[in-house]
Amino acid sequence: MIIQLPLRLIHSYWITLTLIFLGIITALSLYPLQTLPSVPGSDKTHHLIAYSALMFPVALRKPNYWWLIGVFFVLWSGGIELLQPYVNRACEWLDFAANSTGVLCGAFCAQIAGRIIRKD
């Protein structure tokens, strides 16, 4: 299938992708802004998508204790929310909920994608 190649690349380069996503999410979450940029979609949807993308490579590769990495991502997102008031951003627990839901969605989608890879 045509989708297997990208999934295999994600499976192979999961650490690099995860670190890149984590760096981007952290930088964008802690960058001081006067106002949020106008982008299509809900802020909570963006949080959900970002943390789904963060969790997806880890859950696809499934290293030992991969679920602990997911817990780390949830805790990391909570730490970011607590730090945001110090960089002229708002601490919103609904953002934390969207981030946590994103981690779960990323893990769920990776389980489905893993079945596609194993169909070889």
* Ranges of the chain with pLDDT below 70: 1-3, 36, 119-120
Owning domain of residue 97: 4-31+41-118
- Does residue 109 fall inside a structural domain? yes
Residue 36 lies in a domain: no
Structure tokens at 68: 């602990």
pLDDT at position 96: 97
Give the C-alpha separation, 83 to 114, whole Å: 35
The phi and psi torsions of 92 (rounded to 5 degrees) equal: -125, 120
**Per-residue pLDDT tens digits for 61-90:** 999 999 999 999 999 999 999 999 999 888
51 part of a folded domain: yes
- Distance (Å, whole) CA 81 – CA 50: 15
Q: Is the pTM of this model over 0.85?
A: yes
For residue 61, being part of any structural domain is answered with yes
Q: Please, which residues have CB within 8 angstroms of residue 24's CB and are 6 or more apart in sequence? A: none
User: Residue 73 burial (CB < 10 Å; 0-12/13-18/19+)?
Assistant: buried
Number of domains in the chain: 1
Residue 71 covered by a domain = yes
Q: Which pLDDT value is given to residue 5?
A: 77
